[in-house]
Amino acid sequence: MSVLEMYVNYLSHSLVRNAIIVGVLIALCSSLLGTTIVLKRLSFIGDGLSHVAFGALAVAMCFSFTNNMLIVLPVTILVAIILMGSNDKSKVKGDAAIAVLSVGALAVGYLVLNLFPGKNSGNVAGDVCSSLFGSTSILTLGGEDVWICIVLSLVVIMFFVVLYHRIFAVTFDENFAAATGIKSKLYRYLLAIIIAVVIVLSMQLVGSLLISALIVFPVLSAERIVRSFFSVVIASAIIGSLCAFAGIMLSILWSTPIGATVVCVNIIVFILCILLGKIFGRK
């Protein structure tokens, strides 16, 4: 059976199609948000939040909630608001706070999972591994999950399009924006909420340890090859979604873990972009 026939065969299953749709949408949202997160030097917040989400997920799992999102999402949003809300003066402390929080959440999450394994699963190691590194659960998404994901992605994309100029202003120079009457604080909190939503969403795809890759890599790649903010946003959205698509396809072909494959494709593209940037005389 040729590779092509195999893909045709796989794609005839709605589960595979769902996985691809969700995967690409998640990657698109992460890379859009990534532009402001990376350029504002907040990458570490994304990383910290993903660990917090893991901790929350662990707690939710041991309570055996029907829908883990009900716990994970609010907790992550709350932490995001606290982290992003701390002002510039406490930046050094903020740095350590994030480290403490993310490692703490990771440890507590793992401990809780071990002490109180959920009723509906006896396999702690499997649970932990899949929530850290992403799972095959993206291949078992029901129609409802897909719709939730599509709606949330559209919200994120709309948010980005409508507020594009404000996001630029606040990302480039928060003080100037605030001084001339832009509600920087408000956008900060909005951004925090959206980041939390995207992180919780992408946990399904790549797991909490690898989320930062989806957020950070596309932007860094785009930065190497284009020079305006607008083109960085567009290029990073395109790179992010293409990498996700390619990664998912490859992982089907080689039966490799989806999350890790997607991230590796991102790494390869990043290296290519560095080379391209060097060849065409950019930094």
Contact footprint for other proteins (CB under 8 A): 39-41, 161-166, 168-169, 172-173, 175-182, 223, 226-230, 232, 283
Measured CA to CA, the distance from residue 277 to residue 126 in angstroms comes to: 41
Least distance in angstroms from the C-beta of 165 to other proteins: 6
Least distance in angstroms from the C-beta of 175 to other proteins: 5
5/88 with CB nearer other proteins:
88
CB atoms within 10 A of CB 180: 9
Q: What is the amino acid identity at position 132?
A: L
Q: At what angle do helices 229-254 and 258-279 cross, to 10 degrees?
A: 140
166/188 with CB nearer other proteins:
166
Residue 41 DSSP label: T
108/178 with CB nearer other proteins:
178
Tokens of 170: 């606040």
7/168 with CB nearer other proteins:
168
How is 181-242 classified by DSSP, letter by letter?
A: T--HHHHHHHHHHHHHHHHHHHHHHH-TTTHHHHHHHHHHHHHHH--SHHHHHHHHHHHHHH
Least distance in angstroms from the C-beta of 229 to other proteins: 4
125/165 with CB nearer other proteins:
165
Measured CA to CA, the distance from residue 216 to residue 206 in angstroms comes to: 14
Least distance in angstroms from the C-beta of 282 to other proteins: 9
35/241 with CB nearer other proteins:
35
Measured CA to CA, the distance from residue 42 to residue 204 in angstroms comes to: 22
Please provide residue 254's backbone torsions phi and psi, each rounded to the nearest 5 degrees. -100, 5
Least distance in angstroms from the C-beta of 201 to other proteins: 24
Q: What is the amino acid identity at position 2?
A: S
Q: Contact, 62 vs 118, CB < 8 A?
A: yes
17/183 with CB nearer other proteins:
183
Least distance in angstroms from the C-beta of 178 to other proteins: 6
Please provide residue 64's backbone torsions phi and psi, each rounded to the nearest 5 degrees. 50, 50
Least distance in angstroms from the C-beta of 110 to other proteins: 35
